[in-house]
Amino acid sequence: MECVRSIPEPILKKSVFPKKTFTKTKNKENTGETIGYEKVKVSKNVDLTIKNWGCENYTLTFRFLISNQSQKISNTKFWYDKAIELMSLVKKGIRAEDINLINRGLKAISVYRKKTKNPQYAHYIDFGGTVIEDVVVLEKVVKQGRKYKVEISFGVGPL
């Protein structure tokens, strides 16, 4: 099946993240889809992989691998705040075409975090229009050895 959207391109500015890398691969489940992966070391304790994917949707998944944390995964308010904080570290380096989606998504997730007594992982927050949805979601935080994987996705679609 051919994809509605075009081939993924890098979304990080080389001027802000000069050591970033970008690779493309074919999706094994859907051979018509190409997935883009952008990697960069944001700081000493933060590594980032951006997955640029989707056929019917346009999705950017920011996967942060962070160290120097000791919070329980069950403390969702902390991890929502941490995801927002991590995104603000990279926002300055995101290309103009995508920054509006990111900013609107961060605003929506921030409002959800403040209004919700016990925010949930994998809760899709729709902040888009009526025909084409814009969504943001914080996936479950996972401990990997001494590091934590924090994954937040921004999506548009179906296109």
The per-residue pLDDT for range 98-143, each reduced to its tens digit, is 999 999 999 999 999 999 999 999 999 999 877 788 999 999 999 9
148 pLDDT higher than 70: yes
Look at the block and give the residue holding tokens 């070391």: 41
Look at residue 150 in the predicted model and tell me its pLDDT: 98
Q: Residue 141 has what DSSP assignment?
A: P
The per-residue pLDDT for range 45-101, each reduced to its tens digit, is 999 999 999 888 899 999 999 998 889 999 999 999 999 999 999 999 999 999 999
pTM value is 0.94
1 pLDDT higher than 60: no
Identify the band that residue 2 occupies on the pLDDT scale cut at 50, 70 and 90.
low
Look at residue 33 in the predicted model and tell me its pLDDT: 86
Integer CA distances (angstroms), 159 to 5, 24, 56, 61, 81, in order: 8, 21, 6, 17, 30
Amino acid (1-letter code) at residue 115: K
Q: How many CB atoms lie within 10 A of CB 46?
A: 18
CA distance 35 to 33: 7
Environment class of 12 (CB within 10 Å of its CB; exposed 0-12, middle 13-18, buried 19+): buried
Give the residue extent of every domain in the chain: 21-157
Cross-strand bridge partners of residue 26: 34
Look at residue 128 in the predicted model and tell me its pLDDT: 83
Q: Residue 94 has what DSSP assignment?
A: B
